[in-house]
Amino acid sequence: MLKRVVAALLLLASAAQAQNVAPVPAGATLTTVRARGAVACGISTGDPAWSQPDSRGEWQGMDTDFCRAVAAAVLGDASRVAWHPLTGQNRLPTLSVGQIDLLTRTTTWTFLRDVSNGVNFAAPNFFDGQGFLVRADSGVTSASQLDGSSICFTSASTHELNLQDWSRAQNIHFTPVIFADKDEARRAYEAGRCDSFTGDAAQLAAIRAAFPNPEAHRLLPERISKEPYAAAVRHGDDQWFDIVRWVAFGLIEAEELGVTRANAEQMLNDPRPAVRRLLGVSGDLGPALGLDRRWMYNAIRAVGNYGEIYDRHLGANSQVRLPRGLNDLWTRGGMMFSPPMR
């Protein structure tokens, strides 16, 4: 008898799993976002390839497109974003106190940031490391030659601690030239006030590409740290955390499945179960998050899949032309991997 009851319960449980549970009620953040009609996103004050206004004043970049994807998934409209340009200093406090719903600002996921600020980091959506930019005519081709040099960088970032660890481990001595503002740090480097400029390598590559004479600057090959970027949300709203996390994974899944901005509509007829689930043709992934079934369809139609976003801002279709490297799909030897969307 007991065996039969257990078997019946197991059967029920697996049926519930297969059909998915009833749509969840909206959590506090989702309710606020819907009432406001916009997702409040923390971005930078202007950072090429990540979040920078174009000639029409429209924010463009990896970070701003991720925010648009969340707006499209949640509100069905990628333009429904309230942009909050933030400095390195005020980005996490602005999130902690509730002035933004989401921080997408080249922000590295570190232990202390995660556990001490009342925030959670969703899925990593970019893997980088700290590098150095030098003038090509300096003759410097390796970071090991920076002993005795001066290095420009910004405060309120991961850079200073990384430099300390690196200089101690490598026994390299340098003169720090520190700025609160990243544009000032860049200008100081350009004006020759320091021998190198350090920061996240992809940021440096984008800054270099935007210089009037990129070939006059060299990005050194060493990476002295791990800088995994992830969008951050405030503690206390697991539903919102899940939404942001799964939009990030969904964009990667879309690339793996070959679903693009251009073919998403056609892909609604694709017979593959994983494509049907992702686009909301079958299953209830969207409603399980409290969203429309077409949540990922809307996000992909708005900004494209992860690879398309990358190509537009950092890759082949951008002036940076940074190889995918670690940010390629796991199926091609990179680290971009979505857990199963089922």
Among 63, 65, 195, 200, binds ligand GSH (CB under 6 A): 200
Q: How far is the CB of 321 from ligand GSH (least distance, A)?
A: 19
When asked if residue 228 is in the footprint of ligand GSH (CB under 6 A), the reply is no
Per-residue binder mask for ligand GSH (CB under 6 A), 146-165, x = binder: --------x-xxx-------
Nearest CA to 294 out of 309, 308, 282, 306 is that of 282
118: Cβ contacts below 8 Å, ≥ 6 apart = 96, 234, 235, 236
Residue with Cβ nearer ligand GSH (87 or 260): 87
| DSSP, residue by residue, 203-223 | HHHHHHHHSS-GGGEEE-S--
Q: How far is the CB of 150 from ligand GSH (least distance, A)?
A: 17
When asked if residue 94 is in the footprint of ligand GSH (CB under 6 A), the reply is no
Among 77, 114, 160, 181, binds ligand GSH (CB under 6 A): 181
Determine how many CB atoms are found less than 10 A away from the CB of residue 135: 16
Among the residue ranges 28-36, 100-108, 143-151, 161-169, the one whose residues contact ligand GSH (CB under 6 A): 100-108
Q: Read off the tokens for 109.
A: 């996921």
CA distance 34 to 324: 35
Nearest CA to 107 out of 91, 90, 95, 96 is that of 91
132: Cβ contacts below 8 Å, ≥ 6 apart = 143, 146, 151, 196, 197, 198, 204, 219, 220, 222
- Containing 293, the helix (H) or strand (E) segment is none
Among 70, 75, 131, 182, binds ligand GSH (CB under 6 A): 182
Residue with Cβ nearer ligand GSH (64 or 154): 154
CA distance 49 to 206: 6
Residues that bind ligand GSH (rule: CB under 6 A) add up to a total of 16
Among the residue ranges 5-13, 103-111, 246-254, 274-282, the one whose residues contact ligand GSH (CB under 6 A): 103-111
Shortest Cβ contact with ligand GSH: which residue?
88
Among 61, 199, 228, 286, binds ligand GSH (CB under 6 A): 199
Q: Read off the tokens for 183.
A: 């544009």
Among 51, 104, 108, 318, binds ligand GSH (CB under 6 A): 108
When asked if residue 63 is in the footprint of ligand GSH (CB under 6 A), the reply is no
Among 42, 48, 61, 88, binds ligand GSH (CB under 6 A): 88
Residue with Cβ nearer ligand GSH (229 or 297): 229
Q: Read off the tokens for 226.
A: 């791990």
- State the pairing for strand pair 227-234/119-128: antiparallel
When asked if residue 195 is in the footprint of ligand GSH (CB under 6 A), the reply is no
Q: How far is the CB of 42 from ligand GSH (least distance, A)?
A: 12
Residue with Cβ nearer ligand GSH (199 or 250): 199
Per-residue binder mask for ligand GSH (CB under 6 A), 15-54, x = binder: -----------------------------x----------
294: Cβ contacts below 8 Å, ≥ 6 apart = 76, 279, 280, 286
Nearest CA to 233 out of 242, 221, 222, 220 is that of 242
| Sites of contact with ligand GSH (CB under 6 A) | 44, 87-88, 106-108, 154, 156-158, 181-182, 199-200, 203, 227
